[in-house]
Amino acid sequence: MQGGLGDIPAPAETTAPVVEVRRSARRRRTVSAYREDGRTIVLVPAQMSESEERRWVAVMLERLAAQEQRRRLSDDDLAARAAELSSQYLQGRARPVTVRWVTNQNSRWGSCTPSEGSIRLSHRINGMPQFVVDYVLLHELAHLLVPGHGPGFWRLLEAYPRTERARGYLEGVAAAGRLPNLED
């Protein structure tokens, strides 16, 4: 159900180009917001006035931007974390030359080119829980030591205690991306 102000261009400082306001008769007092497919979805009670809706949209955009900024890691942060993970789980043997975020990986969480010593992580995981980012980073670090996904590769990842949990999280994100868009 869409109502109220409908599609509102988002302020320039947010990453989402469009805000979609969804009104719900079931929602009584709470307002919530999330990002989905390049849009910001703001859920508001159906009885909310348009002026309150505008105020809450602005508040929720600020909150989302602040949350995302706190969670985002820079390329330098990523490289430092790679060094920590290599030391902790791979006895420091994996030494990437470069570690960086990329925006051109939409079907993978990360990639590694062992011959160049480069690791690239999809921007889509930047902001996910740290254990998930750590798993993807460790996965790519392991590829610096063992190409492919054979038994030797998976033995390296056994040292990371949250491997299965992170894999489950990523599988859930992938599955949710294939679900139809259900309204509130």
Instruction: State how many domains the chain has.
Output: 2
Q: Which domain holds residue 107?
A: 75-177
* Boundary of a domain, candidates 71, 99, 116: 71
Q: Per-residue confidence at 105, pLDDT binned at 50, 70, 90? A: confident
Residue 122 sits in a domain whose CATH number is 3.30.2010.10
Amino acid at 73: L
Q: How far apart are CA 174 and CA 45, in angstroms?
A: 30
Residue 149 shares a structural domain with residue 81: yes
Residue 165 shares a structural domain with residue 83: yes
Q: What is the pTM of this model?
A: 0.63
Residue 99 shares a structural domain with residue 83: yes
Residue 60 shares a structural domain with residue 147: no
Helices (H), 10-49: none
Quick one: residue 75, left, alpha or beta (phi over 0 = left, psi -120 to 50 = alpha)? alpha
Segment 45-97, tens digit of pLDDT: 999 999 999 999 989 888 887 676 656 788 898 999 999 999 999 999 999 99
Q: How far apart are CA 84 and CA 136, in angstroms?
A: 14
Residue 13 shares a structural domain with residue 102: no
Segment 6-19, tens digit of pLDDT: 333 434 443 435 89
* The CA-based dihedral angle spanning residues 48, 3, 176, 26, taken in that order and rounded to the nearest 10 degrees: 40
Across residues 107-135, what is the average pLDDT?
Answer: 92
Q: Which residues pair with 32 in a beta bridge?
A: 43
* Boundary of a domain, candidates 71, 94, 117: 71
Residue 110 lies in a domain: yes
H/E element holding 99?
strand 98-102
117-to-46, 84, 95, 98, 107 alpha-carbon distances in Å? 54, 16, 7, 7, 21
pLDDT of residue 74: 86
CB-count burial class (<10 Å; 0-12, 13-18, 19+) for 180: exposed
Q: How far apart are CA 90 and CA 142, in angstroms?
A: 8
